[in-house]
């Protein structure tokens, strides 16, 4: 009963050279941290909806076009904060009430136009169940050289754009939101459920109400409807999509993070720790993002609420020295990662450029046939 022992005796950090403890043992270290607080969760929802309302109102109210665009970007950032709350609710880690989590999740997902049930399937089941496993986890899944060369020319160009570092918004909009979440085809989502359709209808209605409100505001204020549509709807939504595209990219794309095509090898690599990046920021940006960048703790135990993630991440990094990928964010690092992480060699376990040349240290030596 190792989880009981860990509560009664001081915890000793695991040697970087020793075997990785079982996931149950690691999660037992976090048990004193995972308590959910419904009042705190509701307060966060109210705070972020107030910020969203104020930012959106200010975008409509100001007359200067540049100010409108900047405020629209701020609105997009706050949409991201609301989405992170919904992400927790979807994991049932936000409040202590399952039904409340479900409805709060749907509510805070509406500004980001995210269908709750489809996000839950793609994220909770697929991404968390098979993080960085080829053929299962579709989030920023890299192609091999052979796969890339077999793609049509237009798709090769699109892949180059996706991995340029400049187009996370486009990747998320097309390959994740449009294909996987917004009324997906049977090819993308063979399982058909009524809630998938109704959640799509719900976010469509939210968008319609939002746009209709801007139409009313344009009439009431004498402003151009198209200017308001651009600055108070299109800019916030695109900024949000760029934000989430960036976040999911940096969470699992790094020169020291591997992808696998063999399930047994993937399982042996302790993917809940090894395939995730803890990206750190200065100036309180991590807190402004509701600590979603403390991502190792989240993958180790999805039940850790976002308002406990910082403490949980610190615990893991204390107990597992040298095991967790920790990266201080800089734009130089980000674009260097985008330059290096184009394709993946699943035999050597290393990143490559678009010509198949290794750009990270191979984790496995492959003997070429004579």
Taking only the tens place, the pLDDT of each residue in 204-252 is 999 999 999 999 999 999 999 999 999 999 999 999 999 999 999 999 9
Cα–Cα distance between 241 and 170 in angstroms, integer? 8
Residue 13 has pLDDT above 50, yes or no: yes
Q: What is the mean pLDDT of residues 170-177?
A: 95
- Whether 60 is in a domain gets the answer yes
SS (H, E, C) 233-269: HHHHHHHHHHHHHHHHHHHHCCCCCCCECCHHHHHHC
235 or 8: whose pLDDT is higher?
235
- Whether 323 is in a domain gets the answer yes
- Whether 23 is in a domain gets the answer no
Tell me which residue range forms the domain holding 56. Answer: 33-352
pLDDT at 10: 63
- Burial letters for 115-133: b for 16+ Cβ neighbours within 10 Å, e otherwise? bbbbbbbbbeebbeebbbb
Average pLDDT, the chain: 92
- Whether 1 is in a domain gets the answer no
How many structural domains does the chain have? 1
- Whether 6 is in a domain gets the answer no
pLDDT at 188: 83
223 or 272: whose pLDDT is higher?
223
pTM value is 0.90
Share in percent of the chain as helix, strand, coil (round to 5)? 60, 5, 35
- Whether 132 is in a domain gets the answer yes
- Whether 148 is in a domain gets the answer yes
For the chain, the straight-line distance linking the first and the last C-alpha, in angstroms and rounded, comes to 52
pLDDT at 5: 43
pLDDT at 271: 84
- Whether 49 is in a domain gets the answer yes
């Amino acid at each position: 009963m190792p989880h009981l022992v860990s509560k009664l005796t001081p915890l000793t950090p695991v040697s970087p050279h020793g075997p990785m403890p079982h996931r149950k043992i690691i999660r037992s270290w976090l048990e004193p941290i995972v308590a959910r607080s419904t009042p705190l969760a509701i307060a966060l929802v109210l705070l972020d909806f107030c910020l969203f309302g104020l930012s959106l109102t200010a975008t409509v109210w100001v007359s200067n076009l540049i100010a409108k665009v900047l405020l629209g970007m701020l609105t997009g950032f706050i949409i991201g904060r609301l989405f992170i709350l919904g992400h927790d609710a979807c994991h049932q880690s936000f409040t202590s009430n399952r039904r409340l989590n479900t409805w709060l999740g749907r509510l805070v997902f509406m500004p980001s136009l995210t269908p709750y049930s489809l996000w839950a399937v793609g994220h909770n089941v697929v991404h968390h169940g098979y993080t960085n496993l080829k053929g299962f986890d579709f989030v920023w899944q890299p192609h091999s050289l052979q796969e890339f060369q077999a793609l049509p020319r237009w798709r090769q160009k699109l892949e180059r754009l996706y991995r340029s570092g400049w187009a996370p918004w486009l990747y998320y909009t097309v390959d994740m939101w449009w294909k996987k979440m917004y009324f997906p085809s049977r090819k993308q989502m063979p399982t058909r459920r009524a809630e998938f359709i109704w959640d799509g209808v719900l976010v469509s209605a939210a968008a319609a109400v939002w746009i209709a409100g801007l139409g009313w505001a344009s009439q009431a204020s004498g402003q151009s409807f198209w200017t308001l549509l651009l600055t108070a709807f299109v800019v916030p939504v695109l900024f949000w999509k760029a934000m989430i595209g960036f976040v999911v990219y940096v969470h699992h794309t790094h020169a020291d993070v591997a992808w696998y095509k063999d399930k047994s090898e993937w399982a042996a690599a302790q993917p809940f720790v090894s395939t995730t990046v803890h990206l750190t920021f200065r100036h309180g940006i991590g807190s402004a993002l509701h600590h979603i960048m403390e991502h190792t703790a989240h993958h180790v135990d999805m039940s850790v609420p976002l308002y406990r993630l910082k403490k949980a991440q610190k615990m893991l990094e204390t107990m597992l020295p040298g095991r967790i990928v920790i990266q201080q964010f800089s734009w130089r690092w980000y674009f260097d990662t985008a330059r290096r992480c184009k394709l993946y060699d699943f035999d050597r376990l290393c990143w490559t450029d678009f010509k198949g040349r290794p750009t990270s240290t191979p984790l496995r030596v492959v003997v070429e046939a004579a």
